[in-house]
């Protein structure tokens, strides 16, 4: 099917409109009109070829809210008119142990990215949500629960699930003591979700100036990580710390904050870290762990949880043709806390 998107044709040119073909729908495919698409930091890295493996032309976007316009003959869960969502992956092998457990993000054969992946049948390069239409197999389509604000929900599909998943893995609940490092797209969702689960949430920040924002998002406290006295006082005070900072930094100052068996979980694209000191890890049985997005079942659970608790990202709506400016602002962390593209602004 013919459609249009915003693509980059090389790493050093801005994104611009591109007409292209989506693959012909198969029997198990859902065809949707994209209504909103969130702007993730990965989109920017992909467009700029920061990881060195971008295939051009590239269309980013993996926080997608849409409306079903057509379904294949084998599709049973969705019909035209349904509001649906697609996140960071659009396929996986479906038969390995991880896929069978509903952990498709950990598929042994590798999941297929919403962009930057390759269709498992046609081997075509996948193109993301900065576009008018999308074709995805039914198993990777989520249902948008009634009552969830469509315009604001998009960032749940990457920022939301990336922070929800570790909160669930480490059994965060009423009274859990959760720390959040970094207050960007991911961090602000970690605060809202952990607080929605009943946790006592502390934002860890290098400066005290984010205290007001942290409280507005639902955090109970702000701990200034550059204040040695405050840090010493907070020792052994956390069950889980979610580190969302996407650039290289030292993890060592945070380790003594964890209580026995506590975990520091990294969800940002952080690359190498400075040499970790193993002493607090061994003596306090503390752990450093990583976590990607969640599986499809858990992503649906997260959407349902957010609808039930009325948890939504703080977003700034933009038009499709404002994306290059939005990328510039995102590079300066000048966004509260996520851009969302209103796809009605992209005319066919």
Residues at the interface with Zn ion (CB under 5 A): 40, 42, 92-93, 96, 99, 107, 158
d(CA 208, CA 212): 9
Number of Cβ atoms within 10 Å of the Cβ of 168 = 18
Minimum Å gap between C-beta 113 and Zn ion is 10
Nearer to Zn ion, 158 or 189 (CB): 158
- Rounded alpha-carbon distances, angstroms, from residue 231 to 120, 209, 237: 49, 17, 10
Number of Cβ atoms within 10 Å of the Cβ of 197 = 20
Q: How far is CA 165 from the centre of its chain?
A: 10
Nearer to Zn ion, 136 or 158 (CB): 158
Minimum Å gap between C-beta 40 and Zn ion is 3
Minimum Å gap between C-beta 284 and Zn ion is 32
Nearer to Zn ion, 234 or 326 (CB): 326
Minimum Å gap between C-beta 186 and Zn ion is 9
Nearer to Zn ion, 156 or 219 (CB): 156
d(CA 112, CA 245): 25
**How is residue 118 annotated by DSSP?**
B
d(CA 9, CA 7): 6
Nearer to Zn ion, 29 or 91 (CB): 91
Nearer to Zn ion, 96 or 235 (CB): 96
d(CA 225, CA 206): 5
Minimum Å gap between C-beta 83 and Zn ion is 21
Minimum Å gap between C-beta 48 and Zn ion is 15
Minimum Å gap between C-beta 336 and Zn ion is 17
Minimum Å gap between C-beta 176 and Zn ion is 25
Nearer to Zn ion, 108 or 233 (CB): 108
Strand partners, 118: 125
**Three-state SS for 256?**
helix
**How is residue 197 annotated by DSSP?**
T
Instruction: Find where tokens 């920040």 sit.
Output: 205
Instruction: Check if the beta carbon of residue 163 is closer than 8 Å to that of residue 244.
Output: yes
- Rounded alpha-carbon distances, angstroms, from residue 50 to 54, 55, 93, 267: 8, 12, 28, 18
Handedness of CA 157, 292, 91, 51 (dihedral sign): positive
d(CA 186, CA 205): 14
Nearer to Zn ion, 163 or 300 (CB): 163
Nearer to Zn ion, 59 or 257 (CB): 59
Minimum Å gap between C-beta 183 and Zn ion is 17
End-to-end CA distance of the chain: 12
Strands 177-181 and 200-205: parallel
CA angle 191, 111, 87 (to 5 degrees): 40
């Amino acid at each position: 099917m013919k459609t249009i998107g915003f693509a980059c044709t090389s790493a050093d040119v801005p994104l611009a409109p591109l007409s292209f073909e989506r693959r012909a729908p198969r029997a198990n495919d859902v065809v949707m009109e994209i209504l909103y698409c969130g702007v993730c930091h990965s989109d920017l890295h992909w467009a700029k070829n920061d990881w060195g493996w971008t295939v051009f032309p590239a269309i980013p976007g993996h926080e997608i809210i849409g409306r079903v316009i057509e379904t294949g003959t084998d599709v049973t869960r969705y019909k035209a008119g349904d509001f649906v969502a697609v996140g960071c992956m659009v396929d996986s092998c479906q038969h390995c142990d991880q896929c069978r457990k509903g952990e498709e993000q950990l598929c042994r054969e590798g999941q297929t990215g919403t962009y930057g992946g390759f269709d498992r049948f046609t081997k075509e390069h996948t193109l993301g949500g900065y576009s008018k239409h999308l074709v995805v197999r039914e198993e990777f389509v989520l249902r948008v629960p009634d009552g969830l604000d469509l315009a604001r929900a998009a960032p749940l599909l990457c920022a939301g699930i990336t922070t929800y998943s570790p909160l669930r893995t480490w059994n965060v609940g009423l009274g859990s003591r959760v720390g959040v490092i970094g207050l960007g797209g991911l961090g602000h969702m970690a605060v809202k979700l952990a607080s929605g689960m009943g946790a006592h949430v502390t934002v860890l920040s290098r400066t005290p100036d984010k205290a007001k924002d942290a409280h507005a998002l639902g955090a109970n406290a702000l701990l200034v990580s550059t204040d040695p006295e405050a840090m010493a006082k907070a020792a052994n005070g956390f069950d889980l710390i979610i580190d969302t900072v996407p650039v290289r930094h030292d993890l060592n100052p945070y380790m003594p904050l964890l209580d026995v068996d506590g975990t520091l979980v990294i969800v940002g694209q952080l690359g190498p870290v400075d040499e970790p000191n193993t002493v607090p890890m061994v003596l306090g049985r503390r752990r450093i762990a990583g976590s990607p997005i969640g599986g499809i079942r858990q992503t649906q659970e997260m959407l349902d949880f957010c609808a039930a608790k009325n948890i939504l990202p703080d977003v700034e709506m933009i038009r499709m043709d404002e994306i290059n400016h939005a990328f510039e602002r995102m590079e300066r962390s000048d966004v509260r806390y996520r851009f969302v593209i209103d796809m009605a602004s992209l005319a066919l």
